[in-house]
Chain A
Amino acid sequence: MKDHVRARLIKNYIFKGLVMLFAFISLLPLLLILYYITKNGISVINWDFLTQLPRPIGEAGGGVFNAIMGTIMLIVLSCVFSIPFGIAAGIYLAENREGKLSNIVRLCVVVLQGTPSIVIGIIAYAWIVAPLRTFSALSGGIALSIMMLPVIIKTTEETLKLIPYHLKEASLALGVPYYKTILKVVLPSGLNGILTGILLSVARITGETAPLLFTAFGNQFMNWNIFKPIDSLPYRIFYYAMSPYPEWHTFAWGASFILVVLTLAFNLIARGVSIKWKIQF
């Protein structure tokens, strides 16, 4: 009897130990990546690296200012395109839970979420780059905004579905028109969830490279015109890493470090928003 209990206890310990071990092993790649990027990248980071433009081949030094600004511009552009459409679609789905159009939209969202980013890049190329006959920040922003859409739509829908119906009723019973009820009562009550979704989708696209290769393209100069090619951190990393120059290789690590820090920051802010701004019903 006693032995029986002991054997079971030992099995429990072994099981717990194994689960912990595997959990740790699955974390290992992430930790190694962070370690490696920090080790190789942090030595390059200094004021010049952050504020100077890339130098021509053969000249030492320079920085990735244009790539940082380009990535920020791309994020802003893709937010401008994706947020209104994404939130509107999310509202529609939350307000019309059943119905043909809702189901079609939901299916499209799933398909869009599964579409490889390179394919979205080709589409942006065909729709915007080809007709305008130039690579541009605009086309990159649109490609990335298409990638943001499914996340924003889904989180908006799920957030708004959780908002109690009696809040909407309270507003409508005060004679507030339907559209104002949605904009002034329902949306603000779900703001933290929607913001979290936006931040997570921004984190998702910050490091996207494939769709930028034939849309935003890359630009070794600083460019503020959205109808011209623009640089970005992922593109700069790709460009430097593929070069034969050792100094550029270390620059690629430095740019990677900045990119990882940015992505991490978006994820952390998203967590903060979702906890701190939680609305209590």
Chain B
Amino acid sequence: MENSVLTVDTFSAFFGDHQVLKDVNLSVPKNVVAALMGPSGCGKTTLIRCVNRMHELLPDTKVAGKMFLNEKDIYTMEPIVLRRKVGMVFQKPNPFPTMSIYDNVIAGYKLNGIRHSREDFNNIVEQSLRSAALWDEVKDFLHRKGTFLSGGQQQRLCIARALAMNPEILLLDEPTSALDPKSTSQIEELFVELKKNVTMLLVTHNIGQAARVSDFTAFIYIGELIEYGPTEKMFTVPKDKRTEEYLTGKFG
């Protein structure tokens, strides 16, 4: 538990009476990629949305148990403060259509009214775009709309937007599921590069992706965390029979 960026402690989540997560325990160390995998509908999205409390936007949700971000209790923080420390990238690329590429990257500052000098913003934009491996492709038209980019570029722009806030953890909900294979492998390479500085929690229902990019993998099945550990270990000697069945493609 020590030195872990995110700690999930006997955590449960409910939609109305429907229990979606059952006593999940998980801890993500600094500067790794932790993958959440499992068949669709098992609660992966719910789990990562509980990390930045986005589930609270839906009616009729409740949670039990605790979560800590760098040892601070997530559920006693102000959601707004929490969300500024937690980056999120969605399934579908969602750059702001009214904003330029430049403004999209610093949207977290602009929309929150956080002021910086022009120069600082220039630096933040360049660094974030470089980290998202997008700088070279867009540096000549930073002031064009972000929506003119290709799907893969848009998704990297969204990653840059999240990185610009210096998040303590980056949540990624099937970030490549809407992209073509080439963009997908670009983004997978990006994750490997990014984890030198950023901790990532990556939802994927692509077993290969979990194997390629993650250091730790959690297997979730109908709301239960069946198994969690180093990716290599889990993929070679899964402890649970259900994990093995999932990895060998028996279901999912």
Give the interface of A toward B (CB within 8 A): 164, 166-167, 169-177, 180-181, 184-185, 188-189, 191, 279-281
Some 18 contacts from A to B, beta carbons below 8 A apart, are A166-B90, A169-B54, A170-B161, A171-B111, A173-B52, A173-B54, A174-B83, A174-B161, A174-B165, A175-B80, A175-B84, A176-B111, A180-B111, A180-B112, A184-B111, A185-B111, A188-B98, A191-B98
Mark interface residues in B78-90 (1 if CB within 8 Å of A CB, else 0): 0111111011101
Is B13 interfacial (CB-CB < 8 Å)? no
Would A166 and B108 count as touching, CB distance under 8 A? no
Q: Which residues of A contact B158 (CB under 8 A)?
A: 170
With A170-B90, A175-B79, A180-B111 known, 11 other A-B pairs at CB within 8 A are: A170-B95, A171-B107, A172-B57, A173-B87, A175-B82, A175-B83, A175-B84, A176-B80, A176-B108, A188-B98, A279-B97
Q: Given A176-B111, A184-B111, do A170 and B84 touch, yes or no (CB 8 Å)? A: no
Rounded to whole angstroms, the CA-CA distance of A169 and B162 in the bound complex is 13
Rounded to whole angstroms, the CA-CA distance of A84 and B83 in the bound complex is 30
Q: Which residues of B contact A188 (CB under 8 A)?
A: 98
Rounded to whole angstroms, the CA-CA distance of A280 and B149 in the bound complex is 12
Is B135 interfacial (CB-CB < 8 Å)? no
Rounded to whole angstroms, the CA-CA distance of A176 and B107 in the bound complex is 10
Would A280 and B147 count as touching, CB distance under 8 A? yes
Q: Which residues of B contact A172 (CB under 8 A)?
A: 54, 57, 83
Rounded to whole angstroms, the CA-CA distance of A197 and B165 in the bound complex is 37
| Interface size, chain B (Cβ < 8 Å) | 30
Would B112 and A176 count as touching, CB distance under 8 A? yes
Q: Which residues of B contact A164 (CB under 8 A)?
A: 94
Q: Which residues of B contact A279 (CB under 8 A)?
A: 97-98
Q: Given A185-B111, A188-B98, A279-B97, do A173 and B147 touch, yes or no (CB 8 Å)? A: no
Q: Which residues of B contact A181 (CB under 8 A)?
A: 111
Chain A nearest CB, measured from B109 CB (Å): 9
Q: Which residues of B contact A189 (CB under 8 A)?
A: 96-98
Give the interface of B toward A (CB within 8 A): 52, 54, 57, 79-84, 86-88, 90, 92, 94-98, 107-108, 111-113, 145, 147, 158, 161-162, 165
Q: Which residues of A contact B147 (CB under 8 A)?
A: 280-281
Q: Which residues of A contact B52 (CB under 8 A)?
A: 173
Would B92 and A280 count as touching, CB distance under 8 A? no
Q: Which residues of A contact B113 (CB under 8 A)?
A: 180
Q: Which residues of A contact B108 (CB under 8 A)?
A: 174-176
Q: Which residues of A contact B98 (CB under 8 A)?
A: 185, 188-189, 191, 279
Rounded to whole angstroms, the CA-CA distance of A189 and B198 in the bound complex is 31
Rounded to whole angstroms, the CA-CA distance of A279 and B90 in the bound complex is 21
Contact of B97 among A167, A173, A175, A180 (CB under 8 A): A167
Rounded to whole angstroms, the CA-CA distance of A166 and B93 in the bound complex is 9
Rounded to whole angstroms, the CA-CA distance of A174 and B54 in the bound complex is 11
Would B80 and A166 count as touching, CB distance under 8 A? no
Rounded to whole angstroms, the CA-CA distance of A107 and B52 in the bound complex is 38
Q: Which residues of A contact B94 (CB under 8 A)?
A: 164, 166-167, 169-170
Rounded to whole angstroms, the CA-CA distance of A191 and B97 in the bound complex is 12
Would B90 and A174 count as touching, CB distance under 8 A? no
Chain B nearest CB, measured from A174 CB (Å): 4
Q: Which residues of A contact B95 (CB under 8 A)?
A: 170
**Residue on A with the closest CB to B111?**
A176
Chain B nearest CB, measured from A175 CB (Å): 4
Contact of A174 among B81, B84, B145 (CB under 8 A): B84
Would A281 and B97 count as touching, CB distance under 8 A? yes
Rounded to whole angstroms, the CA-CA distance of A171 and B52 in the bound complex is 13
**Residue on A with the closest CB to B85?**
A175
Rounded to whole angstroms, the CA-CA distance of A169 and B158 in the bound complex is 12
Rounded to whole angstroms, the CA-CA distance of A273 and B145 in the bound complex is 18
Which has the most chain B C-beta neighbours within 10 Å: A169, A172, A173, A184?
Answer: A173
Chain B nearest CB, measured from A87 CB (Å): 17
Chain A nearest CB, measured from B141 CB (Å): 16
Q: Which residues of B contact A176 (CB under 8 A)?
A: 80, 108, 111-112
**Residue on A with the closest CB to B114?**
A175
Q: Which residues of A contact B80 (CB under 8 A)?
A: 175-177
**Shortest Cβ-Cβ A-B pairs, 6 listed:** A175-B84, A175-B83, A173-B88, A174-B108, A176-B111, A166-B94
Would B96 and A170 count as touching, CB distance under 8 A? yes
Rounded to whole angstroms, the CA-CA distance of A51 and B145 in the bound complex is 45
Q: Given A279-B97, A280-B147, do A169 and B90 touch, yes or no (CB 8 Å)? A: yes
Rounded to whole angstroms, the CA-CA distance of A174 and B99 in the bound complex is 15
**Residue on A with the closest CB to B82?**
A175
Q: Which residues of A contact B79 (CB under 8 A)?
A: 175
